[in-house]
Amino acid sequence: MRRAHLHEIRDAQIPEIGCLTRSATLTGYETLASSVGLDPAHMLQLANLPTEALRDPEILISVDAVSALLEATAKESGQEAFGLLLAETRRLSNLGILGLLVREEPTLRAAMESLTRYQRVQNSGLALRLEDDGQTALIHLDLQVRPHGSARQGIEMAAAITLGMLRTLSNDIFKAESICFMHGRPDCLDVHRRVLGVPIQFAQTFNAIACRSRELNLPITRAEPAFGHSLKRWLDRQLADEKDEPLEQIRRVIQRLLPTGECSVEQVAAHLGTHRRTLNRRLAIAGVCVSTVIDDVRAELTESYLDNGRRPIYEVANLLGFACSADFSRWFRARFGMTASQWMEARSLSRPGQ
């Protein structure tokens, strides 16, 4: 593997807490990176990303780190269109709950409107916006990464995935007029032509997919709007709870990491694409530290798991990342001043009708 560009992936790391995305963003990365002669685990390590992101699609990881990884991978492999090659492997199911939602909308327009509204639930770094004058529609894509301008691979991947989604939902009837990119033209357009299949304009003032307005009125066959409404209610609750403060981002990452048994300050920092010192410095402003937040999240989850009395103690201990029930019991007594059994008994007696 050539080393000339490895420093750039480190230089692209900004030691601050930025936007987060599901690790499903990296679906197919391991196979594709290996096929072009790179070591996927080594590349993730350089990008300060956890290798578990290649196994679990629901881990929250830094958008900045993912963008830096894709840019460095493209340079190291010599594949100018690495983002497009990665997008080519995607399926609607890779979009998670958003993939389920758009499939149940009545039209492509409704699907895009839902995707625009709920995208940040799964990827707070990608902003979608629909602009329509009645004749021509523009699906704007904005990838919020730092440093500005380092998102070429990510933008091309997002455009290809969005275009592929519209084609899949319409049974390949949807036709785009063109795609605009803010970055410059690559040396070779073979992959762009194959994956995107539409005229491409480079060095534009925005990133967008352009189509006739009527294309968005195409129906989605076999959609079940009632199911879609249920999904929207759940997603609306997620949006209501969603906050941009670093503390809320950290809590979400901790909730994901606890069941793995590897929820350390270092692991939390790695998933956020930052450093331990930076993370603690940011939280110090709020008067807390990462270990305190981990303990608080663990306590909240403990109450939730034990409240209905259906989970055995050993299972709760595993879900909270403890090596054994004895470790959990010691922590529980120190935190709540009683044993878990005593806590459950007290909670049961306090319920109405008991």
Residue spans of the domains in the chain: they are 81-242, 244-350
- Indicate the average pLDDT of the chain: 85
14: pLDDT confidence band, cut at 50, 70 and 90? very low
- Check residue 198 and give its pLDDT: 96
Res. 13: pLDDT tops 80: no
- Region 267-276: mean pLDDT is 77
Which residue's structure tokens are 């997620």?
Answer: 238
Which pLDDT tens digit goes with each residue over 39-94?
A: 999 999 998 888 888 988 888 888 888 999 999 999 999 999 999 999 999 999 88
pTM over the 0.85 mark? no
Map the chain to HEC letters: CCCCCHHHHHHCCCCCCCCEEEHHHHCCHHHHHHHCCCCHHHHHHHCCCCHHHHCCCCCEEEHHHHHHHHHHHHHHHCCCCHHHHHHCCCCHHHHCHHHHHHHCCCEHHHHHHHHHHHHHHHECCEEEEEEECCCEEEEEEEECCCCCCCCHHHHHHHHHHHHHHHHHHCCCCCCCCEEECCCCCCCCCHHHHHHHCCCEECCCCCCEEEEEHHHHHCECCCCCHHHHHHHHHHHHHHHHHCCCCHHHHHHHHHHHHHHHCCCCHHHHHHHCCCCHHHHHHHHHCCCCCHHHHHHHHHHHHHHHHHHCCCCCHHHHHHHCCCCCHHHHHHHHHHHHCCCHHHHHHHHHHHCCCC
Q: What is the pLDDT of residues 314-353, one digit of tens each?
A: 888 888 889 899 999 999 999 989 998 888 888 777 654 5
pLDDT digits (tens, 9 = 90+) for 168-183: 999 999 999 999 998 8
Query: For the chain, what is the radius of gyration of the CA atoms?
Result: 23
In this prediction, residues 216-225 reach a mean pLDDT of: 89
Q: What is the pLDDT of residue 241?
A: 63
**pLDDT score for 286:** 65
Range 244-350 has CATH code 1.20.1730.10: no
State yes or no: pLDDT of 217 exceeds 60: yes
- Quick one: CA dihedral 113, 114, 117, 122, positive or negative? negative
pLDDT at residue 4 is higher than 70: no
The pLDDT of 99-116, averaged and rounded, is: 93
